[in-house]
Amino acid sequence: MIKNKKSPFTLHSKSTDCAARRGEVKTLHGTFQTPIFMPVGTQATVKSVTPGNLKEMGAQIILGNTYHLFIRPGHELIRSFGGLHNFMNWDRPILTDSGGFQIFSLKELAKITEEGAAFRSHLDGSKLFLSPEDAVHVQEALGSDIMMCLDTCIPYPATREETVKSTDLTSRWAKRCREAQSETGQLLFGIVQGGMHPDLRQAHAEALIDIGFDGYAIGGLSVGEDKSMMQDMTEATIPHLPEDFSRYLMGVGTPEDLVEGVYRGVDMFDCVMPTRNARNGTMFTSKGKVVIKNARYREDKEPLDPNCDCYTCRNYSRAYLRHLFQSREILSYHLNTIHNLHYYLHLMARIRKAIENDNFTAFRNDFYGRLERE
């Protein structure tokens, strides 16, 4: 096990009237500014955009997935290319999820035991196994800057007994992950579980802090509970995480979720929502959602969002974007994704500026005011 070391997170400023904070995280492939949104590149690609596109829109760090890359093309093949950065031509930080959520999502193909997760490939049904140690070693082979511990995701709803049992297993797995970590310079984050029970989340956060990680994630949310419960559990967990380490709310969410997470003290977010919704024709704008297939846009000469300066909004009309989507042209996915990711990333840039100026609460009120006016 690596001895506890200095936190890679630096806190620069805090809001005086809420828990929002501004900082940065140092990694092997550079430093990224927080609060941050990480575009999801599950299979070593953020769907339908290039690394160049991501840099142009201001992406500082992206996410890959251990489960998917373990199955295809395989971590040893990626290691032979010098790691994920070389393999996909991305020279900025990468975070890899451990695969715990994917195994949870495919629970009919998986069996969880003390040793780890035995599961069948969703591609060909072949038998596979991932232990906590395997999860760390696979991520070390991938060369990601931030690795996540293998955890057991708790369904919603779940009984308290089920939650305790699953959370305790996650604690034991977290300790094994920490002991398996090599001195590669890669960071390892622990994941706080505990279901919808504030006391269990507090106890689990304290257990992970005793083990000692480079950052702490809040897991097991956005699994079917309502928004208010998700926010309550975030709020119940944050005070029990160390202030001098980064806090990552996993798998969340809508633009409103990001604003609310930052308000409660979250530093890092990821979600497939902007890319998935782009492919389904739902666009995020400064005036709310636009469903581009709607007939009202058939002859609309205006850009998707008049307040946006992304490549898509600078060059194309809503009518053209609707035509591409209705025709199922591949360019539709590309242009829509550029816009949605640009919207998310620039929302976070505006949030960082608001925190620096200590007016985030006013920013939050204005954000909701604009949506209500529309």
Q: Is 134 in the active site?
A: no
Q: How would you label 316-348 residue by residue, b for 16+ Cβ within 10 Å and e otherwise?
A: bbbebbbbbbeeeeeebbbbbbbbbbbbbbbbb
Q: Active-site residue among 97, 134, 145, 214?
A: 97
Element (H, E) at 283: strand 282-285
CB crowding 4-17: b at 16 or more within 10 Å, else e: eeebbbebeebbee
Paired with 119 in beta bridges are: 110, 128
Instruction: Compute the distance between CA of residue 313 and CA of residue 194 in angstroms, rounded to an integer.
Output: 43
Rounded Cα distance between 114 and 165, Å, is 11
What's the token pair of residue 76?
């040893």
Tell which residue, 324, 323, 325, 306, has the closest CA to residue 314: 306
Phi then psi dihedrals of residue 278, to 5 deg: -60, -45
- Cα distance between residue 203 and residue 149, in whole Å: 18
Q: Is 300 one of the catalytic residues?
A: no
Q: Please count the other Cβ atoms lying within 10 Å of the Cβ belonging to residue 1.
A: 10
Spatial distance between the Cα atoms of 56 and 105, rounded to a whole number of angstroms = 33
Query: Which among 145, 151, 214, 270 is annotated as catalytic?
Result: 270
Single-letter residue type at 159? T
Q: Residue 158's Cα: distance from chain center in Å?
A: 24
Q: Which residues are catalytic?
A: 97, 270
